[in-house]
Each structure stands twice: as structure tokens, then as C-alpha cells.
Structure 1
């Protein structure tokens, strides 16, 4: 991790869940060193067999994250500089991340801050949260959001957000399916995020890995091509699952009407 960033990107581990907290006042903006540090944290999470799920949260009340640090850019920092192993924010380009990641959004998720949340598999938000893509006002492109949003919500809604930079409330985000659930406050938000994280941590890790890899591979394929890829076991996580002890354990547990014991092998 970049020097002196352990207080900016904090981590704690409980019940095989990694909680990552970005704490960079006043707006949790992400500069290049912070992005690299986040990438190292998430790469370590990916590679640690004892960790099953991650929660991404930020400190403070007003901002989830203001995205890329435009003040640093104004001082000469390259917008397209070295973001680190996972790309911006450590997540959106991290290869082979086959574990569930939950975003707990409280406050304003702006530009790259919203893109950070979109890089997660589940998004919970507090009622105080708002989402916006104001990059047009800074003369730049919300690149990841421009790629992702039109695939996740109606095209015309996505384009309105990208072209006008208007704000979206947490309730509207839930209505369009951008977030999974809206919670009344930060306390309820974190309780819900941890409830889901513990549920997933007790789930079958090899199945989760196969789900994530299959979803990624299928994104650019027609249905039959994607099905052929899965049924031929050409995806490494699928091949591992189909020859695993865990798959046999799942079958036995179902037949014996008991809870399965997942070993991740």
C-alpha cells in the first residue's frame, strides 16, 4: 500500500467478511495514490481464500465519494494516470474478482464515486444518498458510467443522467434498480449490508465464483454462445465447480435434508 495511506483506506475483518472504509475528508475523493492503495486491498481480498465477501463503505456524513480528485487534477495530476491493479477505485478493472462485493452508500455518490458503487455486485443506500454524474460540467467523460448505466437501466434515463448531470435520489435509484434497497439511515444501512454479507459468507464460494465469471463472459455474447461456454466447462470457475467436493456436498445435503458444509474445494 502507498505510504501513509493506512488511515485513508481502512480495513477490518469479521466472520470472513472484509469491510473496506475510504476515509479521505472532506469528500472522499480518490487521487492516484488512494486508488492504488484500494487496488492492493481488493487484490489481497481476491487472493485470500479465507475471505468470502467484501463491503465497501466510506466515512463522513455528506459524501460517499466525490469520485476522482479534481483538485489534484487541477494541480497537474494526470486523470489517466496509474490507478493501480484494479483501475480507478481498485475495483472496476480488477481481473478475476470472483467474490461478492457489497456497496454501502451513504451521502453523495458523485461521478467516480457512483462508478465505484456500480463496480460492486449489490448496492444498499441510505435515504440521505444521492447519485450524480456531473463530469460534463468539468469537461470530461464519466467513462465507466457511460458504459455501464445504459445496460442496467432504461437507455433514455441513463442518457439523461449522463447528458444533464442531474441528481438522482436514493428512492429514484431504487425505482430504476440502480440500488437493491434504501435504508432509513446509516445505522440501518450498515446493519443490512452486514446481514447480507454474513449470509453470503456462509454460501457456496465456488458457485459464487462461477456466477461472477459466467456473468462477465456472457455480457458480450449471445445466449447460445454463452450457454455453450458454460456447458463445455471452458470457464475455469465452472470447470472447478463441476468437479468439486462442494458440488457433491450440495447434492448430498439436499438429499439428506440438511444444511451443506461448504469447503471451497
Structure 2
């Protein structure tokens, strides 16, 4: 019996859809799925035909976070394996920022721990009405360590600490208020909305879209005055963008 791949990809009209495909495990992130996601995102970014990316989950959940069944081997006795897993998780959580293409999370159902971190690491996030977000690690005697930086960046210190310290789950409406997602849509319209948004982004002149994403993430990590100077530099380069599009 042939086993289905843990990551599915589908491309149409410049949009690459990447689907986490462990529905029976609520798309929990084991080594194989995490490695597959990293590879699929990198491949989409390298593909000149791809201009926007959607990440979603198969079945009734976006991603339940780390696959706890692997914890039995992730022990101090296997430090090399522990380090490799931590590095892989870190790479996945930070990868979207370094991609040139815009990435949209279409969050269906539960997005917990690393799954929530993956969703908010995307440039844009749409949530179905049934979506649920949370960082329950503390309840299991562990720490939401790698995903914490992204959470603090998106919702601020007070809200972020409450989420990681209580481990409580928030619904889609509260996630929107907190700034975890851009909008909430009916469950049966989630993918259509994500595709419509991705197509709109893909339709923009590519140089401008990619430069917008690059400078956005750079400015977000700079003091205001330095961000302003960076914007001034890019402003001068934009004239070349228009010329290239006109020639094309």
C-alpha cells in the first residue's frame, strides 16, 4: 500500500498551495512533515512561475503542533537528535520572512503550539470560523520556546505572556482581535478567500511585490529612523521597477 505524501502541493495561475497532509494526526509536526514543509516552501520560493503561496491543512485541523509521540526519543540521551529537531523547527518558524514570495496561511480548525506559530509566521493569515489557536505547551510541562518570539512580535508582551502562561485556547474572533489573523471567514469559504487573495497578490508587478515584502520585514526590526532611511533608498530604486515592467 502506497503511503500518501505528508505534504501536498498544487500550482495554478501563479499560486502554489501547500497542504499539510497528516489529517489523522491533525497535521502534527513530526520530522517528516517539518522537513517536507521546509522543502516545499523553499521550492515554491525558487520557482519563477510561483508568485504567491498558500499554506493550509488537510482534514479538520490546520496543525496540532509538535507530534508528541516523538518526544520519547527526544531526550538528553539523544542530544544530537534533540538539537537537529530544534534547528529544523526554528528554520520552519523563521522561513517565511526570508522568502521573496508572499505567503498566506488558510487556518482551518486547530492551530496549536508550533501550528499556531506557523500560521502567524505567514505574511497574511485567514482563519475559518471554527479555527482555534493556542500555546498549550506549559500544560504538558514544556515551554513554547521557539514560537514565542513570533507571538510577542504579533500580539505584544501582555497578551503573549497570558497565552503562553495559561495555555488557553482562543477562538477565531479573539484571534482577530489579538492580531493573530487578518480576517475570519466562514469555514466553507476559507480556501476560496485565500485563493482570491493570493491571486490578487500574484497579479501585482513581481519586482514591486517582492521588494514590498523584503523591506516590510526589514523595517519591522529596525528603529524608525533607520527604517525611514531604508525606505528612502528603495524609493529611488522603484523607478527601475516600472521600467522593467514596461519593457516586459
TM-score (norm. length: structure 2)? 0.87
Number of residue-to-residue matches in the alignment? 241
Instruction: Give distance in 2, aligned partners of 1:58 and 1:137.
Output: 24
Distance 1:221 1:5, change over 3 A: farther
Q: Give the structure 2 partner of residue 182 of structure 1.
A: 184
Q: Give the structure 2 partner of residue 19 of structure 1.
A: 17
1:156 aligns with 2:152: no
Structure 2 unmatched ranges of 5 or more: 76-80
Q: Could you say what the CA RMSD is over the residues aligned between the two structures, in angstroms?
A: 2.6
1:1-265 equivalence runs, <5 A? 7-24=5-22, 25-61=24-60, 63-76=61-74, 78-82=81-85, 87-88=89-90, 90=92, 92-93=94-95, 96-185=98-187, 187-233=188-234, 242=238, 244=240, 246-248=241-243, 263=248
Cα offset for 1:98? 1.5
Instruction: Give distance in 2, aligned partners of 1:56 and 1:94.
Output: 11
Structure 1 unmatched ranges of 5 or more: 251-260
Give the number of the structure whose residues are more often helix, by fraction. 2
Instruction: Give distance in 2, aligned partners of 1:10 and 1:76.
Output: 27
Q: Which moved more, 1:127-136 or 1:202-211?
A: 202-211
Cα offset for 1:91? 5.2
TM-score (norm. length: structure 1)? 0.81
Q: Which moved more, 1:130-139 or 1:222-231?
A: 222-231
